[in-house]
Structure formats: C-alpha cells, structure tokens
Structure 1
C-alpha cells in the first residue's frame, strides 16, 4: 500500500506542476519575516544565535596576549572579523542573487515539480515490487 501511495503522490505532483505555476504566477509568496528586510533578518538571526556568543567566548582569549591592553586587541580582532564576514557574505549574496533569477521562473518550478513526481513514482514502484 505504501508503494501505491507513493505512486499516487508522484502522479498527482506531476499533474499539478503546471497548475501550481499558473496559480503562483499572479502573486509571489513571501515568508512572514520578509517584511523586516535583509538587514533586519540578518541582525535578528545573529542576535538570537547562541553559537555566536559561544564562539567569541571560547576562541577570542587564545588570540589575546596578556602583556598588552585587552581593548585594542579585541577591537582589532573585531575589525578583522567584520572584514572577513563582509567579503564572505557579499560573495554569497551575489551567488544567491544569480541563482534566484534562474530558480524563480515558472519553467524551473514546473520542472522541479515534475522531477519530484517522477522520483516519487520510481520510489513507489520500487517499494511495491520489493520483496
């Protein structure tokens, strides 16, 4: 029965691929927190991320020398970290922006739905014929 259900899901996904593209062509679906903008989303994800604080608390002391003032050392490390993160995030922003133009097309979404449907049908047939 599981194989039959997977085949049914695959066929219905394949058949609804074009309908889904036509249904979403008029309006674009957005995430609820998208209204904050990119800067607000990034700020809140960093502020609410406990890993960021743990990385600073565990890694920062090993780069400090005890015979020099601590504040300038921390400021220098913070500036270096900001520069590295800025270059890294600008790189990934350009990659994601380029990928979005390719992914955010009706043809791509239709093709991905059809591919998912074909995979579900194949898995359903394999499940149904497995002994």
Structure 2
C-alpha cells in the first residue's frame, strides 16, 4: 500500500513519455526525419568483403556452428571407416541441404528490402509506430 502512490506516479510519467514518443514519431514523417539522411552507421569490420565474405566470417565467428558440428557430427561417424571421408560426405550433404534454403532466404530478403526502402513504406511504418506508442501510452495511463 505504501508504494501505490509512487507506482502510480511512475506509471503516469511512463504513459506521458510513451504518448510524447508516439506524437514525435508521427510528426517526424511530416518533417522528413523518417527518411534516410545519409547518416553513417557503424559497420562490422568485414562489411567491405561483400555478401560472400560476410557470410564466411559470420559462420567462422559463430560459436554455435562449431558446437553443432562438434556435438552432432560424431554421432554419424563409423569408427571402422575413414573418418575424413565421412566428414567430407556429411559436409557435402549439409551444403546441398542448406544452399537452396539460403538462396531462397536471400531472394526473399532482397525483394523485401526494395519494398522496405520505399519512402511510402517507411512513412507508413513510422506513422504506425507512432500510433501504437500513443495507444500504449493511453492504455498505460488508464490501467
């Protein structure tokens, strides 16, 4: 009971902040702030290598990939046969299974990117985000 009033104050302040963020976001479309302004963003060091180089480095530096191979591959190896050949066959099968999936995924992402970069879509998403923030702020204030 003692913390009810401070909690209410924090809730109201949070609601006001959400409404302010929503209105500011909504109005940013009119001022042109929602469109790309040529700002420089942080990039990973290997971003200049192109898509293939980025894919290689993201796989090499991904500890999950190494852990999957170290735990999963030994289950499929037969100690009596040549281990290197078995690992090569498993790697080839893995590449044959993953390659079509990654090509499909890349095509979908590339098509979506062209849609996401249109000013109409960006403005619509910005306005939707602003409206959602206002609604969440009002809902928080009424709760």
Provide the TM-score with structure 2 as the length reference: 0.81
Q: How many residues align?
A: 128
Partner of 2:9: none
More helix by share: 1
Q: What runs of 5+ residues in structure 2 fail to find an aligned partner?
A: 1-12
Alignment counterpart, residue 2 of structure 1, candidates 2, 8, 14: 14
1:62 CA displacement? 1.1
Q: How many angstroms does 1:39 deviate by? A: 1.4
Query: Aligned pair 1:77/2:90, yes or no?
Result: yes
- Equivalent position SS for 1:65: coil
Q: CA shift at 1:36, angstroms?
A: 2.7
Counterpart among 91, 106, 109 of residue 96 in structure 1: 109
**CA spacing shift, 1:10–1:21, aligned 2, 3 Å:** closer
Residue in structure 1 matched with residue 7 of structure 2 by the alignment: none
Residue 66 (structure 1) shift: 1.9
RMSD value over aligned CA atoms? 1.7
Q: In structure 2, which of residues 36, 43, 46 is the aligned counterpart of residue 32 of structure 1?
A: 43
1:10 Cα deviation (Å)? 0.4
Q: Distance in 2 between matches of 1:63 and 1:85?
A: 18
Which segments of structure 1 move beyond 2 Å, counting only runs of 4 or more?
27-31, 33-36
| Structure-1-length-normalised TM-score | 0.88
